[in-house]
Amino acid sequence: MKLLWLCLFLMCSFKTFAVDVAIHNLNSLTTNGQETVATWIDQSLAKTQNTLGPLQQTTLPIYLKPQYFAFEPVPWASVKRNNPDGLELHIDRYANLNTFTKDWTLYHELSHLYLPLLPYTGFWLSEGFASYMQNVIMRDSGVISQGQFVQRLNAGFERARLQTKTKQQPLNELSSDMWRQRAQQRVYWTGAAFFVEADLALQKQGLSLASVIKRYQACCRTARSSARTFIKELDKLSRSSVFTTLYAKYNTRTDFPAVTKAQLNKL
């Protein structure tokens, strides 16, 4: 890639779907490593935007933290809320493109950028959306099959059901305290179940969750929002009460919803 030879400093920029991607610390990798990581990020962003539409920010900074010893291609990652929003990626500097592509983490973090920053009590929505969408994006782009899509969601739901036995607080309360209680499985995957149910309900109207989020990203996304305001915007865009109805059921629920493989196969 000619572009890589132009990376004379600690940052390399390229353009994907009208978004300027600025990769910080790229040149800490070998030449082959730079090409691998730049291609992976480029392709992952393209896959994400194919499902969810263009990101409504002109620049996407990505801060690399290459690791010499790692047991997975992306051991840890997070969204850096700023102006513009960005991502921090801790990566295995020796991973190949195929290994990076099959890892879910970057699709998860990119999905977060389509939603505003919600308060801690609404993090179950943020993490649920990203947990669901990482699998939708991978399925849509052929990284995983429909069968694997169903299996991955069902496995996440099973982990959440198990953790719900010991983490029975109302979901919004547990969402605020999930790091201390290590309750991520219940919070993330109960949130994912919310969006599965929303997607199934929208299908009956000839819509999809991705199509509603595309509209939201294009017209209405703000940097921050309350959970209720965000939910009401999605109902307005879908001309439905799908989201507010489900939110009333989920926000303070103490159990895990009954979502079956048969329902997942309809997605």
CATH of the domain at 29: 1.10.390.10
Domain boundary among 94, 112, 130: 112
Whole-structure pTM over 0.85, yes or no? yes
- Residues 85 and 193 both lie in one domain: no
- Residues 55 and 162 both lie in one domain: no
- Residues 244 and 132 both lie in one domain: yes
Overall number of domains in the chain: 2
Q: What is the DSSP letter of 6?
A: G
pLDDT-based confidence at residue 18 (cuts at 50, 70, 90): confident
- Residues 34 and 149 both lie in one domain: no
Within a 13 Å sphere around the CA of 263, how many CA atoms are in the beta-carbon half? 17
- Residues 127 and 254 both lie in one domain: yes
- Residues 73 and 131 both lie in one domain: no
| 84 cis-preceded (ω within 30 degrees of 0) | yes
How many helices and strands in the chain, by DSSP H and E? Answer: 12, 5
Instruction: Give the tens place of pLDDT for each residue, 166-215.
Output: 999 999 999 999 999 999 999 999 999 999 999 999 999 999 999 999 99
Domain boundary among 79, 112, 145: 112
- Residues 218 and 252 both lie in one domain: yes
pLDDT-based confidence at residue 15 (cuts at 50, 70, 90): very low
What CATH number does the domain containing 258 carry?
1.10.390
For residue 13, the model assigns a pLDDT of 44
Question: What percent of the chain is predicted at pLDDT more than 70?
Answer: 94
For residue 101, the enclosing domain spans 2-112
Instruction: Give the tens place of pLDDT for each residue, 235-253.
Output: 999 999 999 999 999 999 9
- Residues 90 and 147 both lie in one domain: no
- Residues 154 and 220 both lie in one domain: yes
Cα–Cα distance for residue pair 142/108, rounded to 1 Å: 16
Q: 57: which 2 tokens?
A: 């920010």
Instruction: Give the tens place of pLDDT for each residue, 124-180.
Output: 999 999 999 999 999 999 999 999 999 999 999 999 999 999 999 999 999 999 999
- Residues 84 and 134 both lie in one domain: no
